[in-house]
Structures are given as structure tokens and as C-alpha cells.
Chains A and B, each alone.
Chain A
Amino acid sequence: MAEQRQDHTAQQRLLEGWLPLAQEANLRYGWGLDAAGLEALILGAAPALQRVRSTFEAYAILWSSYSHAQRTRTSP
């Protein structure tokens, strides 16, 4: 139970930190993602995002993660 709560807190903190950048990418590339979509995008890309050294790299990761999610959704 305590572990679950800890995971939830860690997840919230991760989202809090990365949401502004993901929202910026959302606007820049016209993805039109809502809050839930942005959260899913960040959580999906989280392991790679933690290793980036620059904002450009972070955008590239988010873009690649978004494209991958789109392909998965449209493929039969």
C-alpha cells in the first residue's frame, strides 16, 4: 500500500516537471493532445526523458514517442 502511494507520488512529480515541456511540444507540433494524452505521452517516454541532455533531445524523444503511439493505434 505504502509502495503504491510512493509510486503514485513519484509519477505525479514526474508529470509536474515534464508537463510544461510536453505541452510546448504539443502546441509546436499540433498534436492536439488533452491532459490525459499528455500524461500518457510523458509516462511512456519517461525512461528515455530521464537521460536527455538538452531540450532539443527531449523534444525528439517526445516526438518519437508520439509517432510510435500513433502507429500502434492505427495499425490493425
Chain B
Amino acid sequence: MTHPTGGTKRSSWLTFRRRLLLVRTLLRSAATSADLVAAINAELGDQGYPAAASAALKHDFDALKGEYGCLIRYDRRTRCYVLDDLGELALLDLPDPCMEALAFLDASFPAGSGLPEHAHIRALLERVRLLLPPARQAQLRRQRPAMRLGVGAGARPIDPQVLDLVKRACEQRRELAFDYLSSFDIDTPRRHRVAPYGVTFRPEGHGYLDATLLEVTPRAGEPIHAAIDYRLDRIVPGSLEILPTVLPPERIPPPRYTLRYRLAPQVARRRDVASYFPETQITYHADGSATVTATVSNLWQTRQVLLRYGDGCTVLEPAELVALFAQTAHGLSAIYAPQREHGR
């Protein structure tokens, strides 16, 4: 017994599936016709395109444009097909709170600034936008979000090759060597060999490599095995080298310090002091002041955090951090004391 319509149904379903696969492949990235044929055939096997596929491919593109309103163009320079608009195939719709979240991300991570580009956030947002129906896309363009994340956009750009090698070294758990110009190096960068662990972007917009120092040439007082945040834009492009040494899965333990500082009543009297460090314990005193204890491993970073309190914070230990603050205070005094005397 035969089913006269079975073959047609099956063939229509295959055609539809092939076209959806084309769209899915183009959503991933622009692609040459050979890439597209290979992707379809990898999925559908011998039910994919025939050997001479160009006519069938063109037919599918025409159908996607005509039947679903997809905008697919051929880029002559790259010889790739690019999907500009999904037309009727824009199947993703979102509830209003999610649209608001999308607008929030869109405003917080604008195109052209460091972090969104490096973390591919813009690429993700553009893709999600492409998946929305035209009316929702228009709504997103009109939306003026009241909330946004304050991520600094004025940071110096990070060399893409630097970021790429740093990410690769972290993923492969391999030592990394590079020339680095720290705040204390006047004009000659020094060679650092480190165990890299990850990249962090801070609210001011700078990207940092979190690493353990293994060697620095020439030495300038940095403690070996200290946890250091290296600003990525200060790593000299072209100087990075991923070394063959594979690191253990667990981080080389950095020196740990017990931190103790006192916050003046004007900072602590509301009893809502922030916990910035691991193992933070806060004791509030009757006079409105507070004593905070915690454990830290990066004294430089700790100083940066505590400086926000200005003279409302007195560091009590460790001695190394007290010395760093004394140095900072001395520097600040050298800058401002003459002015103060001058003004009298």
C-alpha cells in the first residue's frame, strides 16, 4: 500500500528543516556557500544538498527571503552570506521585565568601550536583538532605561593579542611571561613571569590579570608569590610568551595577612559598613566607630579599597600595609602641604 502524499510531506519537511538550518548557521556567523553546504550536510547527511549545490542553495535563499522576509546579503569582500534580519523567523519574544533587562544591558555596555567589546557582550546583545520581532526591536531602540551599571568607559584600550594570550594561558593553566610597565617603573618595563588565574574588569573600566608573581627582572621589592593585579593595558604588546610549564590546579598560596582597621564614627555610625574582604568581621563600638578584621592577600589592592575612606580609616595591621599607607600619606603631604602653607 502506498501513501501518495507521504513523499511530498516528507520532502516539504526536509526542505523546511534545511532552510531553518541555513538560518541557524548564519545566526552563528557569516558564512561562505561552501561552509553553509558543509554545515547542512553535516546535519542532514545524504538528505542535505546534492553535489552541485549552488542552485539549490540559491533556491533556499530566495524562499527564505520571499516566504519569511529574511534579509540575507552577499558580502563580496569576504565572500560570505550575512543574515541582517530574520523577518518572520524572529521567533524570540520576551516579557516586558526581560525587555527592560535587555535595555539595561544595552545602556550599561555601550558599543566601542573596552569591557563590552572584550567580553563579547555587544555581540551577544546584537544577536538577541536580531532574534526579536521588528516591533520589539523598535521598542528596544525607543526604551530609555532608568537604571544602568556604571562601568567606566575611559580606560585605555587593551591590545587584542594581549587579551587573547592571557586568556589562553589561564585556560591552559600555563605560566606567562611579559614586559610590564607598573606605576613605579619610570620608562623601562620589567620582565615578569607569573602564574595567571583570570581576568577581572573593575567598575572604573580597567581590565586586570589576576596572577601570582613567580619572578621579576630586575627585582624592585615585589614579594615573590604575591597575588598581583596586572593592568592589561600596561602589558607591553608583543612581549607576551606562554611558557611550557603547566601549573598545578590549585593556586600557589599567596602570603595571607590578617587585616585590622578602625573606621571613624562619621563612616561607621550607621552600622552599615561594607564587607570588602574575605572573612570580614565587624565590631561596632559605643562611640560610633568600628573595628574591622579580615584576611587579605593583595596589599596593594587592599590599600586602594581602604583609601576610599580617606582619613576616616586607620589601618592597625599588618605592618606592611601600615607602611604602604604611611608612604601614601607622605606622598599626599608632599603634594598638598606646600599649597596649604602657601594659602595661609
A: which residues have CB within 8 A of B?
10, 13-14, 16-18, 20-21, 49-50, 52-55, 57-58
Chain B contacts for A16, CB-based, 8 A: 214
Residues of B within 8 A of A20 (CB): 248, 252-253
In the assembled complex, B341 has its CB within 8 A of some CB on chain A: no
| B-to-A contact residues, CB < 8 Å | 175, 195, 214, 243-250, 252-253
CA distance A52 to B173 in the complex (A): 10
Minimal beta-carbon separation of B333 from chain A (angstroms): 41
Given contacts A13-B175, A17-B195, A20-B253, contact A55 B248 (CB under 8 A): yes
**Told that A20-B248, A55-B248, A55-B249 touch, could you supply 9 new A-B pairs with CB distance under 8 A?**
A10-B244, A13-B175, A13-B214, A17-B175, A17-B195, A17-B247, A49-B248, A52-B249, A53-B249
Contact residues in B for A54 (Cβ distance below 8 Å)? 249
Which residues of B lie under 8 Å from residue A57 when comparing CB positions?
A: 249
Q: Which 5 A-B pairs rank lowest in CB-CB distance, beginning with the nearest?
A: A50-B246, A13-B245, A55-B250, A21-B248, A55-B249
B245 near A14 (CB under 8 angstroms)? yes
Cα separation A21 to B195 with both chains bound (whole Å): 15
Q: Say how far A7's CB is from chain B's closest CB, in angstroms.
A: 11
Shortest distance between the CB of B152 and any CB in chain A (Å): 35
Provide the residues of chain B in CB contact with A55, threshold 8 Å: 248-250
CB nearest neighbor in B for A24? B250
A17 vs B194: C-alpha distance in the bound complex, in angstroms?
11
Q: Which residues of B contact A53 (CB under 8 A)?
A: 249
> Smallest Cβ distance from B195 to chain A, in angstroms?
7
Cβ–Cβ < 8 Å partners of B247 in chain A: 17
Cβ contact within 8 Å between A58 and B245: no
Cα-based distance from A17 to B243 in the complex (angstroms): 13
Verify A10–B248 contact, CB threshold 8 A. no
The smallest beta-carbon distance between A1 and chain B, in angstroms, is: 19
Once bound together, how far apart are the Cα atoms of A43 and B99, in whole Å? 56
Select B250's contact among A13, A14, A21, A49, beta carbons within 8 Å.
A21
Q: Is the CB of B249 within 8 A of A58?
A: yes
A53–B244 alpha-carbon span in the complex (Å): 17
Chain A neighbourhood of B214, CB < 8 A: 13, 16
Residue of B nearest to A53 (CB): B249
A38 to chain B, nearest CB (A): 14
Contact check, B249 vs A10: say whether CB atoms are below 8 A apart: no
Jot down 22 A-B pairs with beta carbons below 8 A, ordered by A. A10-B244, A10-B245, A13-B175, A13-B214, A13-B243, A13-B245, A14-B245, A16-B214, A17-B175, A17-B195, A17-B246, A17-B248, A17-B252, A18-B248, A20-B248, A20-B253, A49-B246, A49-B248, A52-B249, A54-B249, A55-B250, A58-B249
Bound together, the chains give a CA A42 to CA B334 distance in angstroms of: 52
Asked whether B245 lies within 8 Å of A17 as measured between CB atoms, the reply is yes
A21 to B253 Cα, complex, angstroms: 10
Quote the shortest CB–CB distance from B202 to chain A (angstroms).
28
Given A13-B175, A16-B214, A17-B195, the answer on whether A58 and B244 have CB atoms closer than 8 Å is no
Complex formed: what's the CA distance from A61 to B245 in Å?
18
Query: In whole angstroms, how far apart are the Cα atoms of A20 and B252 in the complex?
Result: 8
Shortest Cβ distance from B195 into A: residue: A17
Cα A58 to Cα B250 with chains together (Å): 10
A57–B250 Cα distance when bound, in Å, is 11
> How far is it, in angstroms, between the C-alpha of A52 and the C-alpha of B214 when the chains are bound?
21
Residues of B within 8 A of A18 (CB): 248
B273 to chain A, nearest CB (A): 35
Cα A54 to Cα B214 in complex, Å, equals 21
Give CA–CA (A57, B249) in the complex, Å.
9
Q: How far is the CB of A43 from chain B (nearest CB, A)?
A: 13
Select the residue from B214, B247, B253 with max chain A CB neighbours within 10 A. Answer: B247
